[in-house]
Amino acid sequence: MADEVVLVDTWVSMFGMRVRIALAEKGIKYEYKEEDLCNKSKLLLKINPIYKKIPVLIHNGKPVCESLIIVQYIDEVWNDRSPLMPSDPYPRACARFWADFVDKRVYDVAKKVWTTKGEEQEAAKKEFIEAFQILERQLGDHPYFGGERFGFVDLSLIPFYSWFYAYETFGNFSIEAECPKIIAWAKRCLQKDSVASTLPDEKKVYECVVQMRKRFGVE
Amino acid sequence: MGEVKVIGASLSSFCCRIEWALKLKGVEYEYIKEDLRNKSPILLQYNPVHKKIPVLVHNGKPVAESLVILEYIDETWQENPLLPKDPLEKSTARFWARFVDEKCIVSAWDACRAEEHEKERAVESAQESLGMIDKLIEGKKFFGGETIGFLDLVVGSLPNWLKFLEELGGIKLVDAEKFPSFHEWSKKFVEIPIIKEKIPMPDDLINYFTTSGLAKTIRGSALANNK
């Protein structure tokens, strides 16, 4: 029985990118549906009525929501190739902890870097750098957060790299100056096909953020 | 299977999840009580990133974040499984666990703390989230089906916390008529001996918040206003 896999997503979403990288790692063929978040489709409201957000994976008609939950689902269903999670319980718990850290300590503060000004923005930049410095320490001398292999935490974080140019431009700061190991790690990840073919061009992301700032009335 | 410690606080709804899980699996552990107003070197050593409880320490290795800990416990001690084996059912349980933490608990607190003019809307929003939990348990003995599962432990102390938030905020969030299935489940759940042993009680929560002076810091607190 052939699997039917559909991904409802939007190209610029770092959460959607996580799922696309996971699908690419596993070599899974799927139908991609681009969603306009300013004009949400009936499909999205039907498959994610609780949050009305992307990404949503639809596997043989059944929806799965929330990016980290989707990635674990993909890993558990297509468990015969390219594992994304470690196999032992303790490294698995560490992977879940750090992916959760990215969600809790990076996403919201990163958003403030491009949606706020003045003192609020300065505070957000400081928190942003602190979060990445914690991640740098966690990476240590390993090539990836997963150790020798690209894994769940790498996949959870790397999409943010495509937004770095936008953060740096609007925040007027250099992430490389503060966290050079993170930049080196990101470039290493980009050597992987699954990442390179998924992450959008940083200038295109920047242009999109310019438009979003206008919509949010940030200017 | 090794030395197990739980660093926790008795009134925390996140900590009791961990203790329930260990007890359900018959795992012996040492409980280390933490004073959150005066964090110990042990907590700062084992959870330097968030400095929060609960932390599970297994053979000297720490695991933090209650939902992460629950999955670790389930994968390490496989008796009385908490999560379903099927990937789709597992994803559904994980989804609703996040919903409880990110929506139910947060919106209940927001309703408790809301200023007078925002209170009605905040209560409605909290009740909308609770309505979804009520629908989820409709026609079922437990969220896990016939036996207690992951989601039962996650939702676990919510009924008592809601009673506490109702009194603290002078609001009504839950009633048997509006959420009959949730009401039925919570009546049964809090009476299960393993659960009853370690569940935060509304009176203890009220007492803690009033004696510590925290009640005064809650905007819109009916208790603070009465003192």
Asked if A69 and B72 come within 8 Å (Cβ–Cβ), the reply is: no
Task: Report DSSP state, residue B175.
Answer: -
- Biggest CA–CA distance in chain B, Å, is 55
Using a CB-CB cut-off of 8 Å, the residues of chain B touching A93 are 63, 68-69, 71-72
β-strand B30-33 against B61-64: which pairing, if any? unpaired
Average pLDDT, chain B: 92
Local confidence band at B134 (pLDDT 50, 70, 90 cut-offs):
very high
Which residue in the set B71, B90, B95 is minimally distant from A93, CB to CB? B71
Chain B positions touching A73 (Cβ under 8 A) are 87-88, 90-91
Q: ω before A83 within 30° of 0 (cis)?
A: no
- What's the pLDDT score for residue B227? 42
pLDDT given for residue B222 in this prediction: 60
Conformational region of residue A191, where left means phi above 0, alpha means psi within -120 to 50, and beta covers everything else: alpha
Q: What is the pLDDT of residues B175-209, one digit of tens each?
A: 889 999 999 999 999 999 999 999 999 999 998 88
Q: For the whole model, what pTM was predicted? A: 0.95
Q: Are A181 and A136 in contact (CB under 8 A)?
A: yes
Show the tokens assigned to B81. Answer: 């499984």
Q: Is B65 close to A100, i.e. CB distance below 8 A?
A: yes
- pLDDT, residue B88, reads 98
Q: What are phi and psi of B142, to 5 degrees?
A: -135, 165
* Residue type present at position B178: K
d(CA B134, CA B158) in angstroms, rounded, equals: 12
Task: Say how far apart CA B202 and CA A202 lie, in whole Å.
Answer: 51
pLDDT tens figures, A64-116: 999 999 999 999 999 999 999 999 999 999 999 999 999 999 999 999 999 99
Q: Evaluate if residue A1 carries a pLDDT over 90.
A: no
Preceding omega of B41 cis (within 30 degrees of 0):
no
Residue A143, preceding peptide bond in cis (omega within 30° of 0): no
User: Which residues 139-178 of chain A have a CB within 8 Å of chain B?
Assistant: none
Instruction: Find all residues with CB under 8 Å of B136, minimum gap 6, and list them.
Output: B96, B143, B151
Contact B76 A97 (CB under 8 A): no
